[in-house]
């Protein structure tokens, strides 16, 4: 049972990387597009006023933003594909159909039961328009639920076939037919259950607003903790746009909401010092500083032979967080592999906001460095105290780095570049590799794939071949037949054997190794 649980957790962790690893690329390109289209920045860099440059930036950011705003379906497809044991393409296709069935079933049920709010009253209602359909806003959580459900049903019934006239309903069609009533019932059940979750969050909002620095801490912590579910906006949105975030009279008008107050105050020259309401929009300190320290800690604690892999993931993620305030690429990189770090990140984020409030800092930077520079610096130190924002950020950077690095090493956390592949990683010599190849006449000395297969016990011993980003993952009939020395002679950094599951660590070139092995085994397609 323990081995089954561990295998399931490994499959889930690997499947999560399918949608997660695309986020750094998306985020960094969106940030670049925002720079090219920023009107205030164009005042200092006239070349940005060029129509072609502006148009390119607009297209670049505008075409990629929908990816971040539709993470639900992306995680749904990613998990369905990653968790499917076979016929992965069909599983992914089914997940798209199921996602549409779910949101439309929920929309129709909400409408029939009178729960659907008017389209012009969506803000703060707990509902949102998802792919053109108004439903309860469940964010990434919906994608994770549906992806797991689809993969489970797919793995059980994708090979079930019928004879005669009913054979057209076998395979992936049967999977979809089974999923339709399941998903419809799930949509109805969640229509009742999910509002309770949302109500709990809204109730917390009122409590937070009345609790001073403790409330600010809870606010900042929850805003991070709810990132995986996509519900974090239910925490901060009421504070930014309703009276929960404060009420101020500015220029003779009553303004409600932290962000509304901020923009009204910076537009009014009579306002000498920004109000305390701005603190509810000071969420950017951990994005611009803290998480960058976390990235550096992840990189420095990565195994030497995997630092290139870690760098390729963490540098774009850090730049995305600094410039655009998009933190998911970093947070999801350790959320599932080391959840204790995510909890600490949430606590430090809340403490950072408390420090800003104690120091009367009124600078904001919720969308990263560009917003911070353009909105705070022109107002001057008196209105915003922006140098203290930077100082708090530097201190937070150091705390994140020191604490993350200490815990990763102390607890041996399996963060990026620290997978369990360090058992006996000494490489075998090239001469030994050649000797092994020459010792078996059925294997050509220059054919690495055949040597690998032989070292795994032969073709008949291999039940399944797969790979992640650094490892060749196999299920073998008899793992005692594995020749670790020969595998290391082919360039493997290590071999991990757990029952019938064998992992051969090749690093970033594992994809080409997998392709060679598949070809030698005669595996076509999946």
pLDDT digits over 4-43, tens only?
Answer: 665 666 667 667 767 766 765 776 676 677 668 767 667 7
Confidence of residue 434 (pLDDT cuts 50, 70, 90): very low
Residue 475 bridge partners (DSSP):
464, 501
Confidence of residue 423 (pLDDT cuts 50, 70, 90): very low
Is 430 in contact with 269 (CB distance < 8 Å)?
A: no
Record the tokens describing residue 329, joined without a space: 């690429």
Q: State mean pLDDT over 488-509.
A: 77
Is 147 in contact with 78 (CB distance < 8 Å)?
A: yes
Instruction: Answer with the residue of higher pLDDT: 241 or 202.
Output: 241
What residue has token string 């770090």? Answer: 341
Confidence of residue 228 (pLDDT cuts 50, 70, 90): low
The one catalytic residue among 76, 158, 295, 468: 468
Find which of 267-276, 347-356, 495-504 is predicted with most confidence, using mean pLDDT.
347-356
The predicted pLDDT at position 224 comes to: 87
Is 388 in contact with 357 (CB distance < 8 Å)?
A: no
- Assess whether pLDDT exceeds 60 at residue 413: yes
Other Cβ atoms within 10 Å of 226 Cβ, number: 19
At 349, give phi and psi (nearest 5°): -65, -45
- Assess whether pLDDT exceeds 80 at residue 352: yes
What residue has token string 């150091």? Answer: 398
Q: Is the dihedral of CA 343, 349, 354, 355 positive or negative?
A: positive
The predicted pLDDT at position 124 comes to: 64
Angle separating helix axes 369-376 and 386-410, nearest 10 degrees: 160
Is 224 in contact with 345 (CB distance < 8 Å)?
A: yes
Of the chain, the end-to-end C-alpha distance in Å amounts to 28
Record the tokens describing residue 238, joined without a space: 């009421």
Taking the complete model, does pTM exceed 0.95, yes or no?
no
CATH 3.30.1360.60 range(s) for the chain read 440-521
What element of type H or E holds 494?
Answer: strand 494-498
Distance CA 413, CA 161 (A): 44
Strand pairing of 471-476 and 462-467? antiparallel
Verify whether residue 468 is a known catalytic residue. yes
Distance CA 62, CA 69 (A): 11
Topology (CATH level 3) of domain 440-521: Gyrase A; domain 2 (3.30.1360)
HSE-CB for 421 with a 13 A CA cutoff: 29
Residue 255 bridge partners (DSSP):
248
Q: Is the dihedral of CA 296, 302, 304, 307 positive or negative?
A: negative
Is 488 in contact with 422 (CB distance < 8 Å)?
A: no
Distance CA 424, CA 103 (A): 50
pLDDT above 90 covers a percentage of the chain that reads 22
228-267 residues labelled b (16+ CB within 10 A) or e (exposed)? bbbbbbbbbbbbbbbebbbebebeeeebebbbbbbebbbe
Range of lowest pLDDT (18-32, 60-74, 191-205, 470-484): 18-32
Confidence of residue 394 (pLDDT cuts 50, 70, 90): very high
What residue has token string 């803290």? Answer: 290
Distance CA 406, CA 413 (A): 10
Residue ranges of alpha helices (H) inside 84-139 are: 88-112
- The H helix count followed by the E strand count for the chain is 23, 8
Other Cβ atoms within 10 Å of 405 Cβ, number: 18
At 497, give phi and psi (nearest 5°): -120, 120
Residue of 300, 363, 310 lying closest to 508 (CA atoms): 310
The predicted pLDDT at position 329 comes to: 72
- Assess whether pLDDT exceeds 50 at residue 425: no
Distance CA 136, CA 102 (A): 11
Q: State mean pLDDT over 252-274.
A: 72
Residue of 385, 218, 368, 401 lying closest to 293 (CA atoms): 401
Is 288 in contact with 372 (CB distance < 8 Å)?
A: yes
Is 381 in contact with 277 (CB distance < 8 Å)?
A: no
What residue has token string 């071999």? Answer: 495
Give 227-250 as a DSSP string: GGGT-THHHHHHHHHSGGG-EEEE
Distance CA 423, CA 428 (A): 14
Distance CA 93, CA 415 (A): 31
Instruction: Answer with the residue of higher pLDDT: 378 or 292.
Output: 292
Distance CA 94, CA 106 (A): 18
């Amino acid at each position: 049972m323990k081995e089954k649980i561990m295998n399931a957790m490994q499959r889930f962790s690997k499947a999560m990387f399918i949608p997660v690893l695309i986020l750094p690329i998306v985020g960094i390109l969106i940030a670049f597009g925002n720079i090219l289209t920023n009107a205030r920045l164009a005042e200092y860099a006239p070349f940005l006023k060029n129509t072609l440059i502006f148009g390119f930036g607009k297209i670049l950011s505008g075409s990629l933003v929908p990816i971040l705003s539709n993470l639900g379906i992306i995680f749904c497809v990613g998990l369905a594909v990653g968790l499917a044991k076979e016929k992965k393409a069909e599983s992914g296709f089914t997940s798209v159909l199921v996602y549409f069935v779910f949101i439309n079933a929920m929309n129709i049920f909400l409408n029939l039961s009178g729960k659907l709010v008017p389209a012009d009253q969506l803000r703060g209602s707990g509902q949102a328009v998802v792919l053109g359909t108004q439903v309860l806003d469940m964010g990434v959580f919906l994608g994770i639920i549906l992806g797991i459900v689809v993969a489970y049903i797919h793995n059980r019934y994708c090979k079930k076939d019928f004879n005669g006239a009913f054979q057209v309903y076998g395979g992936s069609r049967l999977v979809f037919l089974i999923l339709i009533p399941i998903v419809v019932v799930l949509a109805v059940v969640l229509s009742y259950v999910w509002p309770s979750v949302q109500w709990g969050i809204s109730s917390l909002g009122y409590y937070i607003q009345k609790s001073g620095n403790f409330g600010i801490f809870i606010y900042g912590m929850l805003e991070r903790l709810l990132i995986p579910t996509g519900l974090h906006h239910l925490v901060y949105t009421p504070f930014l746009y309703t009276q929960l975030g404060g009420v101020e009279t500015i220029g003779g008008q009553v303004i409600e909401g932290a962000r509304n107050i901020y923009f009204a105050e910076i537009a009014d020259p009579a306002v000498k010092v920004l109000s305390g309401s701005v603190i509810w929009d000071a969420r950017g300190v951990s994005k611009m500083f803290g998480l960058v320290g976390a990235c550096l800690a992840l990189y420095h604690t990565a195994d030497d032979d995997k630092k290139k892999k870690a760098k390729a993931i963490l540098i774009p993620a850090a730049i995305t967080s600094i410039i655009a305030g998009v933190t998911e690429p970093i947070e999801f990189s350790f959320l599932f592999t080391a959840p204790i770090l995510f909890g600490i990140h949430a606590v430090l984020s809340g403490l950072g906001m408390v420090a800003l409030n104690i120091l009367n800092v009124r600078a904001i930077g919720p969308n990263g460095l560009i917003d911070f520079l353009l909105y705070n610096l022109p107002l001057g130190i008196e209105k915003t105290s922006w140098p203290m924002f930077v100082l708090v950020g530097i201190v937070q950077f150091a705390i994140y780095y020191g604490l993350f690095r200490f815990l990763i090493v102390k607890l041996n956390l399996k963060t990026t570049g620290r997978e369990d592949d360090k058992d006996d990683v000494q490489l075998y010599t090239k001469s030994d590799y050649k000797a092994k190849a020459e010792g078996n006449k059925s294997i050509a000395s220059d054919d690495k794939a055949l040597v690998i297969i032989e070292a795994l016990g032969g073709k008949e011993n291999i039940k399944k071949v797969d790979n992640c980003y650094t490892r060749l993952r196999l299920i073998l009939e008899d793992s005692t037949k594995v020749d670790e020395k020969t595998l290391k002679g082919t360039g493997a950094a290590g071999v991990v054997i757990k029952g019938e599951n064998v992992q051969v660590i090749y690093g970033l070139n594992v994809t080409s190794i997998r392709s060679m092995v598949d070809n030698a085994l005669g595996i076509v397609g999946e």
